[in-house]
Amino acid sequence: MSRRDIQLDDQGRLRHFLTTEGLPRDLLERILDTAASFTGVIEKSIKTVPLLRGRTVMNLFFEASTRTRTTFELAAKRLSADVLNLDMGSSSAVKGESLLDTLRNLEAMQCDMFVVRHADSGAAHFIAEHVGDDVAVVNAGDGRHAHPTQAMLDMYTIRRHKGDFEPLRVAIVGDILHSRVARSQIHALNGLGAGEVRVVAPRTLLPRDVERLGVHVYHEIEAGLRDVDVVITLRLQRERMQGALLPSEQEYYQLYGISRERLALAAPDAIVMHPGPINRGVEIESAVADGPHSVILNQVTNGIAVRMAVMSMCLEGRGSRAEEDE
Ligand code: CP
């Protein structure tokens, strides 16, 4: 079964949200439209809606996170769900309990959704294959494979600033090889019809056959940034690097850092994005990260509405587990 099959039901609605790869354009647009309706909600003084009242969401983070975990928690609370944040580093997994046994026990507590971050590629898909039909799984980042809600909040941020995707040139700069965010962004940008998607990186930080993802490859930063409407820069993911792929962070900054001078090569109204956490002076100059073109903190804000959209769409039309067991 393909990853697309497991995450959609017979009517093409979201059952799980595991990857942006292969998702039809109308579904990607519906996520963005639903997020737009929630942005209206969370900008009010009363920021909650009762859509997931009585539902239970468990955040299972096996890997560190600041932005994703907190915005998933806020999103669930804005939807009136009950939320539990499990610190998997202090769970019974450290006493030898298998992942599946942990899941079975959490499911027995009538959970409706697992939000999963894991260091292993494919972990969220594995969990989705093993939970009961009533439980939805949302991938909050698995290894170097996918980070689909990050990609959708990035798409939402781009649409809010730029409107249509079709005329846009987008450059993704940096450690594409180890980046789950870049993969999910590339699938989402192509799915939404972006005019041109570029990746800009040294050969050592690009996957083999990256062109097959539907991107134009640049090794020289000046050429890669020329006339683009959106610059997305990425962190060097040292925790996933094996061997010496880079001479030094200083040299990387000299060759690929986003400085004011380099940004001047992009379109005059270009926006600068970064999924975070940022490393100032390594992939981006502080004056750019904090400057007028930066929408980095808007991305974080938009994460709440986009995660509300994904969570509500995954549970739309399903009875709560507690009701069904009565
Ligand atoms: N962008 C992102 O995934 O950030 P966190 O690791 O802080 O969740």
Structure tokens at 265: 């090569």
Residue 89 binned pLDDT confidence (cut-offs 50, 70, 90) = confident
Whether 58 and 112 share a structural domain: yes
Whether 281 and 316 share a structural domain: no
Whether 169 and 257 share a structural domain: yes
Report the alpha-carbon distance of residue 284 to residue 280 in Å, rounded.
Answer: 5
Domain count, the chain: 2
pLDDT at 147: 98
Whether 163 and 262 share a structural domain: yes
Q: Are 70 and 307 in contact (CB under 8 A)?
A: no
Mean pLDDT computed over 9-30 = 96
* Tens digit of each residue's pLDDT (9 = 90 or more) over 187-225: 999 999 999 999 999 999 999 999 999 999 999 999 999
pTM: 0.94
Q: What does the longest C-alpha to C-alpha distance in the chain come to?
A: 64
Whether 274 and 290 share a structural domain: yes
Whether 243 and 157 share a structural domain: yes
Report the alpha-carbon distance of residue 170 to residue 87 in Å, rounded.
Answer: 36
User: What CATH number does residue 102 fall under?
Assistant: 3.40.50.1370
- Ligand 1 geometric centre to CA of 302 (Å): 13
Tell me if 254 CB under 6 Å of ligand 1.
no
Tell me if 150 CB under 6 Å of ligand 1.
yes
Whether 137 and 83 share a structural domain: yes
Whether 112 and 157 share a structural domain: no
Residue 47 binned pLDDT confidence (cut-offs 50, 70, 90) = confident
Has residue 1 got a pLDDT over 70? no
Tell me if 224 CB under 6 Å of ligand 1.
no
Whether 193 and 263 share a structural domain: yes
pLDDT at 242: 65
Which residue among 68, 142, 274 has the greatest number of ligand 1 atoms within 8 angstroms of its CB, and so is best to mutate?
68
Whether 181 and 109 share a structural domain: no
Measured by CA distance, the residue closest to atom 6 of ligand 1 is 65
Which residue segment(s) compose the domain that 231 sits in? 148-295
Residue 243 binned pLDDT confidence (cut-offs 50, 70, 90) = low
